[in-house]
């Protein structure tokens, strides 16, 4: 469920450039599918607001924005 919710948030943050289905099926980084830095900022804001967490934006930390599985583990671990 969390994974699907996050995929929907990726779709909303990218204005549909990447659909939820594409995010769920992705085998490459989300940025390669068209998730821009603007969309990443929207995603960060949406996830932080909904789950009450705060992203680590260090170089290693931002990797979770590129991979739905990693994002799911991060949110599940932090929430």
Partner 1 sequence: MDARFSGGRSGTAPLTWGQRAIWDTVRRTVPDDRYFNFGRILPVPGRARPLTPERAAAALGALVERHESLRTTLGAAEPYRDGEHAGPHRSEGREPRRILDHAEPYQVLAGAGTIPVTVATGDPETLLGELTATAYDYAAEWPLRAGLVVGGGEVTHVVLAFCHLAADGLGAEVAVRDLRLLLMRGSVPGPPPPQPLDLARWQESGAGRRVAGVAAEHWENEYRRIPPTMFDRPSRQAASPPVWRAKIVSRALDLAVQRIAAVHATSTSTVLLAASSALVSAATGHEVCAMLPIVGNRFRGDTVNAVTTLSQEGLFVLDADRADLAGLLRAARPAALRAYRSAYHDPRDRDRLEAEASRERGTRVHPYCCFNDMRFTDRADASHDEATVRRAMDGTTLTWPLSQDRLNCRFCLHLTAEPGGLGVSVTADTRFLSRPSMERYLLDLESTLVAAAFREVPELVG
**Residue 35 Cβ vs partner 1, minimum distance, rounded to whole Å:** 9
Identify which range of 2-10, 16-24, 42-50, 68-76 contacts partner 1 by CB under 8 A. 42-50
Identify which range of 2-10, 17-25, 58-66, 70-78 contacts partner 1 by CB under 8 A. 58-66
Report the helix count and the strand count for the chain, using DSSP H and E: 5, 0
Q: Would you report the helix, strand and coil content of the chain in percent, each value rounded to 5? A: 70, 0, 30
Tokens of 39: 């969309």
Cα(26)–Cα(45) distance, rounded to whole angstroms? 22
Task: Establish if 45 lies at the interface with partner 1 (CB under 8 A).
Answer: yes
Task: Establish if 14 lies at the interface with partner 1 (CB under 8 A).
Answer: no
Q: Name the residue nearer to partner 1 (CB basis): 7 or 33.
A: 33
Cα(51)–Cα(6) distance, rounded to whole angstroms? 11
Number of residues that bind partner 1 (CB under 8 A): 20
């Amino acid at each position: 469920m969390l994974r699907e919710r996050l995929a929907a948030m990726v779709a909303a943050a990218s204005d549909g450039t990447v659909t939820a289905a594409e995010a769920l099926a992705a085998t490459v980084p989300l940025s390669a599918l068209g998730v821009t830095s603007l969309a990443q900022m929207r995603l960060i804001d949406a996830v932080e607001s909904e789950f009450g967490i705060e992203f680590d934006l260090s170089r290693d930390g931002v990797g979770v924005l590129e991979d739905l599985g990693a994002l799911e583990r991060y949110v599940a671990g932090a929430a």
